[in-house]
Chains A and B, each alone.
Chain A
Amino acid sequence: MTTRTISFRQAINEAMRLEMRRDPKVILMGEDVAGGATLPHIEGEGKDSWGGPLGVSLGLSPEFGRSRVLDTPISESGFIGAAVGAASTGLRPIAELMFVDFLGVCFDQIFNQAAKLRYMFGGKAQVPMVLRTMIGAGARAAAQHSECLYSIFVHIPGLKSVIPSTPYDAKGLLSSAIRDNDPVVFFEHKVLYDIEGEVPEDNYTIPLGVADVKREGKDLTIATVGRMVHISLEAAEKLAKDGVDVEVVDLRSLSPMDEDTILTSVKKTHRLAVVDEDFPRCSLATDVVALVADKAFDYLDAPPKRITAPHTPVPFSPVLEDTFIPSADTIVSTAQSLMA
C-alpha cells in the first residue's frame, strides 16, 4: 500500500471520502459540513464553502452532491435525532456535532435514542451511525468550545467512543466506526488537525477496542488518549534522559476499552499514571485506575496516579488555559515521584 504524509484533518476527510465511495448509504450531515447551501456561486457551481467549521469535510459535497452531504439548520436535536432515525431505517449517517460542548442541546438524541433503541426494542433495531465531534483545549476557545467530555459518553451503555491521536489511527478508526453497526462517537481534538503523519492511500480499518503501544518501556505505564498521547510521548523523552523508561499506551478507544493491553503493561512496569485531558471526577482516569486496582493491584509498586485537567470550566486567558491542560512537566514530576 502506498503511503504518504498527510494531516490529521486530511486523514479524516479521506476516511469519509473512501467510505462514501464504498457505500452509497453513508451520508454526512451537520452545520456547514459543505456550507453555502443553495447559493448560486457556491452550490450552483457544484462547490462547497466551509467544508466543515475547520475544513475537515472540504471537497466531499462537490464529489458526492448535496443529497449526501447535508448542511443542516442549527438544530442539533433535530438533525442528530434525524441521524438516529435514518440509521435505524437503512442509512449509515455521519452526523457532526460541531463542538462536543454543544452536547447540552442534543443529549437526549444521543443517550435516550441512539444508545437505547436497540436494547429497548429487544435487539430488533440497529443504529449504525457515527457522531463526529470536536474536543479539546488549547485553541483559546474558552469554556463552551474547549472541553473533552468523552467520559460522559463512555458512561452510557449502547455507545462506543473512539479518540484517535495520529493521522494513521484517525483514518483507520473512522473507517471502522463508519462500518460499525452500533452508534460510535468519534472525538477529534482540534489541536491535532494540523499534525502530519504517514497514512496509506487506500482504505484500511483499525478495530475498535484495541489499544496501541506508542512507546515501549519497562519502568512506568502511561495510559492516555487523544492529544495527551503526544504530551505523554514528549514527557517520556524527557524522562528517558533521567533513565526512566516509560511505556505509553494509547487507548484509542474508550468504549470498548482494551483492558488487556493496560493490564499487561502494568504487570510489566509495576507503575501506572493515567494522563487525561478531561475533568477528573468519574473520568477515564478514575476508570483506568479502578481497573488496575481491581485486576493488577498486587503488581503495583507505587500508588496509581491520575494526571488530569482540574475540576473547573476551561478558562480563556492563555496563562490560565495553559495551566488547565496537563503538561509534560507535570507528567515528568509525577513520574519521578513514582520512581522515588
Chain B
Amino acid sequence: MAFSKKEIRGIYATMRKIRMFEDKIAQLFAEGKLGGFAHLYAGEEAIAVGVCVNLKGNDFITSTHRGHGHCIAKGVDINSMMAEVYGKATGACKGKGGSMHIADLDKGMLGANGIVGAGGPLACGAALTAKTLGTGQVTVCFFGDGAAEQGTMHESMNLAGSWKLPVVFVCENNGYAESTPWGYHCAAKSISDRGVAYDMPGLTVDGTDFFAISEAAEEAIGRARKGEGPSLVECRGFRYYGHFEGDNLSYFTEEEQARNRARDPIENFKKRVLERKLLSEKNFSEIDLEMAKMIEEAVKFAEESPWPDAEDILKDVYVSYPS
C-alpha cells in the first residue's frame, strides 16, 4: 500500500462522495424531483477511483452512460453535476446534456456518453492528440461489459494496438448489459483475454478491490505514458441499482444482492485501512459527515439555481453559423 494517510483519506472521501451522490439521485428520482434517464454507479466506486487516482489532472478519460462516478473521480465539481442532472443553467453543461452527457474538458473528462461503446474511438482520438503533440498525456477509456460487444470497442482496441496509442481500456464488467447477463451476451469467458487479439496486455481484477484495481491501473497507465502502447484491464464487480432509475430489477435475485453487499467496495477498503491502522473509525465517520454535507449543499445549489433561458436553445449548436 503505497498511499499516504492523506491520500487514503482522499480516496475514501471520493468513493463515499460517489456513493452518496448516487444514493441521493435515486432518492430524488423516487420522490419525483428528477426526470429523464439516470444510470447509477453505486457499487463500482473502487474502479473509477482506483484508476483515476493514478492519473494526472490533464490526462483524459472517456466515460459511459453510467458516468457520475467517473466525473467525481476525475475531479468534476458535484454542484455543477447535480445542477446538470436537474437541468439547471448552472449545470456542468448548462442544462443541455443532463445525467448522460456530463463533461468537463478542463478536468480531462471528455464526457459521459449515451451511446454504448462510443467512448472507445473518442479515447483513441484523445490519445492520438497526446501522441502527435508529444504531451505525455494518457487517456483512459471506461466501458462496460455491454460495450465490450460493440464493434466500436473492437475497432478502437485494434486501432490503439496498431498505432501504439497511450490508452488504457478499463472494462467495468458489472455482470449485466441492461438486464442481459454477461454469461449470455459474451461468447468468451473473459473480456481481458481479448488483449491478445490487439497485442496488448489483458488483466482481470476484482472490481470491488480498490488496491488491486489501482495496482493494475498504475502499471497500465505507466506503460501508456512510456509510449509502450495500450492495455486492457477488466474489473469484475456489480452495481447496486438497476440499469436506469425505474428499472424493475426483476433479473436481480435477493441472494445475488446479498452476495454483492457482502463484498461492498467501500466497506472492503475501509476494513483494510482499519486493519493497517491508517485511519480510525472516527476518521471515517468525520469524512462521511463531510461528504453528506457536500451532497446536501449540491442539492441545495441545484434546486436554487435558475433554469436556462428559453432563448439558450439555439446557443452552442455551432461555434459560428452565419444566418
- Is A307 interfacial (CB 8 A cutoff)? no
The answer to whether A123 and B121 have CB atoms under 8 Å apart is: no
- Is B155 interfacial (CB 8 A cutoff)? yes
Interface string of A2-35 (1 = CB under 8 A from B): 0000000000000000000000010100000000
Q: Which residue of B lies closest to A159 (CB)?
A: B318
In the complex the two chains form, what is the Cα distance from A147 to B155 in whole Å? 26
The answer to whether B159 and A121 have CB atoms under 8 Å apart is: no
- Is A306 interfacial (CB 8 A cutoff)? no
Within 8 A of A (CB), among B296-320: 315-320
- Is A144 interfacial (CB 8 A cutoff)? no
The answer to whether B122 and A82 have CB atoms under 8 Å apart is: yes
The answer to whether B105 and A77 have CB atoms under 8 Å apart is: no
Chain B residues contacting A118 (CB-CB under 8 Å) are 316-319
The answer to whether A84 and B121 have CB atoms under 8 Å apart is: yes
The answer to whether A90 and B158 have CB atoms under 8 Å apart is: no
Given contacts A78-B120, A256-B323, contact A108 B115 (CB under 8 A): yes
Choose among A67, A125, A180, A181 the residue that contacts B132 (Cβ–Cβ < 8 A): A67
- Is B32 interfacial (CB 8 A cutoff)? no
The answer to whether B159 and A124 have CB atoms under 8 Å apart is: no
Q: Which of B113, B125, B151, B156 has the most CB of A within 10 A?
A: B125
Chain A residues contacting B101 (CB-CB under 8 Å) are 120-121
Chain A residues contacting B220 (CB-CB under 8 Å) are none
In the complex the two chains form, what is the Cα distance from A89 to B108 in whole Å? 9
Within 8 A of B (CB), among A88-118: 88-91, 93, 108-109, 112-113, 117-118
The answer to whether B124 and A78 have CB atoms under 8 Å apart is: yes
The answer to whether A125 and B322 have CB atoms under 8 Å apart is: no
The answer to whether A81 and B129 have CB atoms under 8 Å apart is: no
In the complex the two chains form, what is the Cα distance from A158 to B62 in whole Å? 21
In the complex the two chains form, what is the Cα distance from A81 to B126 in whole Å? 10
The answer to whether A121 and B319 have CB atoms under 8 Å apart is: no
The answer to whether B155 and A84 have CB atoms under 8 Å apart is: no
- Choose the segment among B63-71, B86-94, B280-288 that binds chain A (4+ C-beta atoms closer than 8 Å): B86-94
The answer to whether B104 and A87 have CB atoms under 8 Å apart is: no
In the complex the two chains form, what is the Cα distance from A119 to B114 in whole Å? 14
Q: Which residue of B lies closest to A81 (CB)?
A: B121
- Is A68 interfacial (CB 8 A cutoff)? yes
The answer to whether B321 and A88 have CB atoms under 8 Å apart is: no
- Is B133 interfacial (CB 8 A cutoff)? yes
Choose among A77, A83, A119 the residue that contacts B317 (Cβ–Cβ < 8 A): A119
Within 8 A of A (CB), among B16-38: none
In the complex the two chains form, what is the Cα distance from A280 to B69 in whole Å? 47
- Is A85 interfacial (CB 8 A cutoff)? yes
- Is A153 interfacial (CB 8 A cutoff)? no
Chain B nearest CB: distance from A67 CB in Å?
6
Chain A nearest CB: distance from B298 CB in Å?
18
Chain A residues contacting B126 (CB-CB under 8 Å) are 85-86, 88-89
In the complex the two chains form, what is the Cα distance from A109 to B103 in whole Å? 17
In the complex the two chains form, what is the Cα distance from A89 to B132 in whole Å? 11
Interface string of A154-184 (1 = CB under 8 A from B): 0001101000000000000000000011100
- Please tell me the size bucket of the interface on A: 35 or more
Within 8 A of B (CB), among A29-75: 67-68, 70, 72-73, 75
In the complex the two chains form, what is the Cα distance from A205 to B147 in whole Å? 42
The answer to whether B96 and A75 have CB atoms under 8 Å apart is: no
Q: Which residue of B lies closest to A127 (CB)?
A: B319
Q: Which residue of A lies closest to B323 (CB)?
A: A256
The answer to whether A73 and B155 have CB atoms under 8 Å apart is: yes
- Is B110 interfacial (CB 8 A cutoff)? yes
Chain A nearest CB: distance from B306 CB in Å?
14
Given contacts A73-B162, A121-B93, contact A91 B155 (CB under 8 A): no
The answer to whether A83 and B125 have CB atoms under 8 Å apart is: yes
Q: Which of B62, B129, B158 has the most CB of A within 10 A?
A: B129
- Is B269 interfacial (CB 8 A cutoff)? no
The answer to whether B159 and A120 have CB atoms under 8 Å apart is: no
- Is A279 interfacial (CB 8 A cutoff)? no
In the complex the two chains form, what is the Cα distance from A117 to B112 in whole Å? 10
Q: Which residue of A lies closest to B112 (CB)?
A: A120
In the complex the two chains form, what is the Cα distance from A227 to B156 in whole Å? 36
Given contacts A80-B121, A82-B124, contact A89 B156 (CB under 8 A): no
- Is B123 interfacial (CB 8 A cutoff)? yes
Chain B nearest CB: distance from A187 CB in Å?
18
- Is A126 interfacial (CB 8 A cutoff)? yes
The answer to whether A126 and B322 have CB atoms under 8 Å apart is: no
- Is A122 interfacial (CB 8 A cutoff)? yes
Interface string of B150-188 (1 = CB under 8 A from A): 011001101100110000000000000000000000000
The answer to whether B115 and A112 have CB atoms under 8 Å apart is: yes
Chain B residues contacting A112 (CB-CB under 8 Å) are 114-115, 118
The answer to whether B152 and A81 have CB atoms under 8 Å apart is: yes
In the complex the two chains form, what is the Cα distance from A124 to B105 in whole Å? 7
The answer to whether B110 and A88 have CB atoms under 8 Å apart is: yes
The answer to whether B320 and A124 have CB atoms under 8 Å apart is: no
The answer to whether B91 and A122 have CB atoms under 8 Å apart is: yes
Choose among A120, A123, A158 the residue that contacts B111 (Cβ–Cβ < 8 A): A120
Given A182-B321, A256-B322, 17 extra CB contacts under 8 A: A73-B162, A81-B121, A81-B156, A85-B110, A86-B125, A87-B125, A88-B105, A89-B105, A91-B132, A118-B317, A119-B316, A121-B93, A122-B316, A124-B106, A125-B105, A181-B320, A209-B321
Among all A-B residue pairs, the 5 with the closest Cβ atoms: A85-B125, A81-B121, A78-B155, A123-B316, A122-B94
Mind listing 8 A-B residue pairs with CB under 8 Å? Answer: A77-B151, A79-B121, A81-B120, A82-B128, A85-B124, A89-B126, A120-B101, A121-B96
